[in-house]
Amino acid sequence: MDMRVLVTGGAGFIGSHVVEALTAGGHEPVVYDVRVDAGSDVRDADAVRHALSGVDAVCHQAAMVGLGTGFTDAPDYVSANDLGTAVLLAAMAETGVRRLVLAGSMVVYGEGRYSCARHGVVRPGPRAVADLAAGRFEPLCPACGAELTPGLVTEDAPVDPRNVYATTKLTQEHLAAAWARTTGGSAVSLRYHNVYGPRMPRDTPYAGVASFFRSALARDEAPRVFEDGRQRRDFVHVRDVAAANAAALEAGSAPGALTAYNTGSGEPHTVGEMARALAHAYGGPEPVVTGEYRLGDVRHITADSARLRSELGWKPEVGFEDGMREFARAGLREV
């Protein structure tokens, strides 16, 4: 059925593509975004209740994103992401809107899936500063200290948020699950992996690594790759993420619960590979591997998106090479 869908953050990077996907699917998206109207803040209960009038579902994209620059911005993250989500869900409970798709994140897992030849699947702890500073980037088996083999993380993996942003994204899921149980609503969290594509915000402390590299190339500078460039990620195109949102809204989920879906391409690539592909497509300088690191970054996190494919019939359409060629030519947006 065609739905009227409130898209919070609908003027943002991912949200604007979600709006386009919903429109193409015959739905009526309603954009709710502080970029469009200073009064459209999800923490404003009166404004949210007004925006929910006549709405069938909510696609909640509005958030303060990225790793951040330290712990001092924790109150801002918690306010924007968790208080904002609580206000939105309370208004949905009050107004009777019972269908939600949440922009989740793979950061809730912490490190990805690892296996040890001797001990099977293991969960390494946070990497030590001394190891990172010495260029020892790979996590080791907590039982024997051996090298580990990274694999694909599934939705039933234990959660282990390792920075403020990750903690707020997990809290959003807990709030949505509580809302669903209380109201009988349908809640889906799409745990985005590394989203890239047109309209990505340009170089800011909160932008994704693809944006940093693209911004450097636009300045005719070499992309600077942290660690040794061999950290593995799942780079998924923003149009594929938008299509996943449309599929999740149309399918709904079991009432009274939250269902989480990894949302990734299913094709792991290293950060170094991504930087080289983007630099070659742009025709800019070769990337420079710096050995620098950010405390709180994880080494490897790649998605098993089989559940999303099988249950919602979604599949990514934009391949890595094609996506990077398009992204090299696409314009970035100011924050």
- Give pLDDT tens digits for 79-108: 999 999 999 999 999 999 999 999 999 999
Length of the chain: 335
Q: Are the C-beta atoms of residues 228 and 299 closer than 8 Å to each other?
A: no
Question: What phi and psi, each to the nearest 5 degrees, are found at residue 3?
Answer: -125, 155
Q: What is the C-alpha to C-alpha distance for residues 101 and 97, in angstroms, rounded to an integer?
A: 12
Mean pLDDT taken over the chain: 94
What pLDDT, on the 0 to 100 scale, is given for residue 27?
98
Beta bridge partners of 4: 28
Q: Token digits for 141?
A: 């088996």
Indicate if 114 belongs to the active site.
no
Q: Which residue has the higher pLDDT, 46 or 204?
A: 46
Query: Of 32, 77, 165, 293, which one is the catalytic site residue?
Result: 165
Kindly state the average pLDDT of the residues 239-257. 94
Non-local (6+) Cβ contacts of 11 within 8 A are: 31, 33, 35, 36
What pLDDT, on the 0 to 100 scale, is given for residue 29?
98
Q: Encode pLDDT of 202-228 as tens digits.
A: 876 667 889 999 999 999 999 999 999
Question: pLDDT band at 239, cuts 50/70/90?
Answer: very high
Residues of the chain with CATH 3.40.50.720: 4-109+153-199+234-266+302-318
What pLDDT, on the 0 to 100 scale, is given for residue 65?
85
Q: Encode pLDDT of 307-321 as tens digits.
A: 999 999 999 999 999
Statement: residue 151 has pLDDT above 70: yes
Single out the residue of 220, 246, 235, 215 nearest to residue 313, CA to CA. Answer: 246
Non-local (6+) Cβ contacts of 1 within 8 A are: none
Question: What phi and psi, each to the nearest 5 degrees, are found at residue 72?
Answer: -65, -20
Kindly state the average pLDDT of the residues 226-242. 97
Kindly state the average pLDDT of the residues 163-174. 95
What pLDDT, on the 0 to 100 scale, is given for residue 202?
81
Kindly state the average pLDDT of the residues 46-51. 97
Q: Are the C-beta atoms of residues 123 and 141 closer than 8 Å to each other?
A: no
Q: Token digits for 245?
A: 């949102």
Q: Are the C-beta atoms of residues 68 and 164 closer than 8 Å to each other?
A: yes
Q: Which residue has the higher pLDDT, 39 or 55?
A: 55
Beta bridge partners of 224: 288
Q: Thinking of the domain 4-109+153-199+234-266+302-318, which architecture would CATH place it in?
A: 3-Layer(aba) Sandwich (3.40)
What pLDDT, on the 0 to 100 scale, is given for residue 204?
67
Q: Which range is least confidently modeled, 133-137, 220-224, 291-295?
A: 291-295
